[in-house]
Structure formats: structure tokens, C-alpha cells
Amino acid sequence: MRFDLAITRLISIAAIASLSAFSSPVDAQNQTKKAAPTVVPPIKVMILGTYHMASPGLDVVNTQVDDVTEPKWQRELAALAERLAKFTPTKVAVEVVSRADDFVYADYRKFSPADFLKDKNEITQIGFRLAHRMKHDSVFAIDEQSEAIDYFPFGKLQAYVKETGREAELAAVTTRWQAIGKAMETLQKRATVSQILRELNEPSEIDEGQRAYVSAMNIGAGDRWLGAELNAAWYLRNAKIHAKLMKIAKPGDRIVVVYGAGHNYWLRELVRTTPGYELVEPRHFLR
């Protein structure tokens, strides 16, 4: 019985080995294909914080800027576009509201290089210029504004401190913002556009801008925390901007987001912490 059992086992092993010899190459290939994980390329995003080149006067502290349509600045803006082109962006997104479902900014279709000498706005001077340099068909408008929601309720904060006699607390906050604005005006006198943007996008500068917002956080008392509400509303606007960015982004995209530098902190943080996204530092391209 033991001899028969041993023979039976040997026959079984030989049969399995024979089958393996015939099937192993194909099976191995199939197993390799099944085992190989699907590699999804990351979405690389460069948040390029900039100053408002047209100086529209819509901020709490408005910086005086030089006329970027002058030849000196046009040469520097052209050089900036060449530096940013080294990132090889596949999309450019700008600080404009679009009501289109795909967030395509229709104005770009009417753009021509002659607009560089007419429109001082950084949307044209940087966003359109870069998209044109890369031969893009579209520019994407991902800004968020609302008639129902005040995303920066600074007026309410001002009314509160006046009502409660806490003007000094708010003055300390606005002094920080004014210092940032003055530094920007001084920087123009000694730096190129690329150098200005490099400094605006340094982590230390970005953190200082965020500290100016956070320093207003504790203005309030009881059930009225106007400083915290201002910070929360500001975050909400940036969160919705990021949500729109996520709508236009596809795996493998390389996106340049041209936005006011005040948005830098939250837009960068949201990109950095979103799975599948990779934050690209603009300062590495602005040397």
C-alpha cells in the first residue's frame, strides 16, 4: 500500500510539472500584467503668486505699480514667459470668474499680442502671454465671487472695532499689510519682474502674508468673532477656487495658476494636501 501510494504521488507531481511546463510562459505573463499596478501620473501645479499689475484699487492696501506696458517691463515679462515655459505647462488658470461649465475663459480667444500694450492686468501680461507662448487653445478662469457671500468681510470687521473701541487691534493688522505693500513698491525700483515674483513666492514671504490674516483672528468676543469670520470666509473662497482647479485638472497635467499673492498660502496648501497632486515651486524657474 505504501509503495502504491508513493507511485501515485510521483505520477501526480510529474503531471503537475508537465502542465506547468506547457502553461508557465503565458501564465507568467498574465500574472505579471495583473500584478503590475496602474501608474497614474501626478497633476503638477505651480501657484504663481503675483502683484496686481493694473493696480485696480480693490484691496485693503493698494500698491503703486509701474506701467508694465513700457518697453523695459515688456522685455522682462517676455523673459518671465520664457522661464515659466521651461515648466512646460499644459494649462494656465487665472483669477477671473467663468460661468462656463468647463471654466474656459472666452476672452482668450479674442487675444492678440497687441493686447500687451493695452491691457496692464497680470491676467493678460502673464497668463495670456504664457498660454500664447505654449500655443494653448484655452485659458481657464477659476476665480470665485458671489453676490450672496462676502468672502472678505473687512467692512464688518471695521464696523465692529469702531463700535467696541478696538480700533487699535485692527490698526496693528493693517500696519502689517501696509508694510508688505511698501516693500513691494520698493522692490520694483531694484528688481526685474522675475525677481519680484521670486521674492513674492518665497516661503518666508508667503508665511508673513498668512500671519497678517491670522493676526486678526482674535478680534471679537462673546458670540461675535469678526476676525475669525473674515479668516473663514477667505478660506472658503480659496477652497472653491481649488475645487474649480480640480475640475479642470487631468492626470499628467502641468498647470500654472496665476493669482494675487494674497491667495498663495491657501492655494499652495490645498494643492500640497490633495491626493494625486504635486506642488511645484515657481521660484525654481525664476532665477
User: Which range among 26-30, 60-64, 118-122 has the greatest average pLDDT?
Assistant: 118-122
Residues 217 and 75 in one domain: yes
CA 221/CA 79 separation, integer angstroms: 50
Residues 192 and 132 in one domain: yes
Residues 29 and 51 in one domain: no
Residue 25: what pLDDT?
A: 54
Residues 212 and 166 in one domain: yes
Residues 27 and 158 in one domain: no
Residues 118 and 252 in one domain: yes
Residues 150 and 212 in one domain: yes
Closest CA to 280 of 40, 90, 37, 74: 90
pLDDT one-digit tens code per residue, 76-110? 999 999 999 999 999 999 999 999 999 999 999 99
Pinpoint the alpha helices (H) of the chain.
2-35, 71-85, 122, 129-133, 154-164, 167-188, 193-200, 203-214, 226-248, 264-272
Residues 19 and 128 in one domain: no
Pinpoint the alpha helices (H) of 43-153.
71-85, 122, 129-133
pLDDT one-digit tens code per residue, 212-270? 899 999 999 999 999 999 999 999 999 999 999 999 999 999 999 999 999 999 999 99
CB 220 within 8 A of CB 228: yes
Residues 6 and 94 in one domain: no
Beta bridge partners of 278: 44
Give the total number of structural domains in the chain.
2
Residues 55 and 114 in one domain: yes
- Whether residue 30 is predicted with pLDDT greater than 70 in this model: the reply is no
Q: Can you give the residue range of the structural domain that contains 24?
A: 1-36
Residues 23 and 76 in one domain: no
CB atoms within 10 A of CB 112: 9
Instruction: Indicate the DSSP class of residue 90.
Output: S
Residue 181: what pLDDT?
A: 78
Annotate 148-167 with b (16+ C-beta within 10 A) or e (fewer).
Answer: eeebbbbeebeebbeeeebe
Residues 184 and 96 in one domain: yes
Q: Residue range 62-73: average pLDDT?
A: 87
Helix (H) or strand (E) holding 277: strand 277-280
Lowest mean pLDDT among 33-37, 69-73, 79-83: 33-37
